[in-house]
Amino acid sequence: MNLLVADSTQVLLGTAWLDRLEIHVTHTGNGMSNEEVGAVSSLLDVPALRQYRLAVGRATRRIVNRLRAEDFKRRIDPESLRRIWDEKAMLPAGRGIVDYWAKKSVAGLLLMPPTRHCFLHLNEIRRIKQTLTG
């Protein structure tokens, strides 16, 4: 939302979140194998992750609250899409997702990722956890 809608800095890249989370991954994780996800997860500071999630939620609410009615029809700026790649916010395997976002308006983006995204991964998380714990 920060990159695509607000033309601002990602929450992850502000306030030393990578250090606080104890990870080095700056991308969404799309295209990572279960083993790669497990490796990152084993390093992750879970209490910091909870705080990061709260920070993302607050930032998203600020963005949405500042939108004007005419903003909802606005198409996503190609420069914002380029920033995704420049800032390594997505692995090359996520090109289809970026292409999907490129076709959306701000209203379309509000449906995904900030609202439905978490729900889509609940079963995936359960599957990965079962794989890692046997």
pLDDT digit string, tens, across residues 76-110: 999 999 999 999 999 999 999 999 999 999 999 88
At residue 20, does pLDDT exceed 80? yes
Q: Which pTM does this prediction carry?
A: 0.80
Query: What Å distances lie between residue 102 and 15, 89, 131, CA to CA?
Result: 28, 15, 34
Peptide bond into 113 cis (omega under 30): yes
At residue 120, does pLDDT exceed 70? no
Query: What Å distances lie between residue 93 and 45, 50, 65, 99, 105, CA to CA?
Result: 26, 27, 32, 11, 23
Q: Report which secondary-structure segment, H or E, holds 12.
A: none
| pLDDT interval class at 114 (50, 70, 90) | low
Distance, CA of 24 to CA of 124 (rounded, Å): 22
| pLDDT interval class at 131 (50, 70, 90) | confident
Q: Give me the phi and psi of 94, to 5 degrees please.
A: -90, 10
Distance, CA of 30 to CA of 27 (rounded, Å): 8
Q: Domain spans of the chain?
A: 2-133
| pLDDT interval class at 112 (50, 70, 90) | confident
Q: Are 2 and 10 in contact (CB under 8 A)?
A: yes
Q: Give me the phi and psi of 105, to 5 degrees please.
A: -90, 175
At residue 117, does pLDDT exceed 90? no
pLDDT digit string, tens, across residues 21-66: 999 899 888 888 889 988 998 898 989 989 998 999 899 999 999 9
| pLDDT interval class at 128 (50, 70, 90) | confident
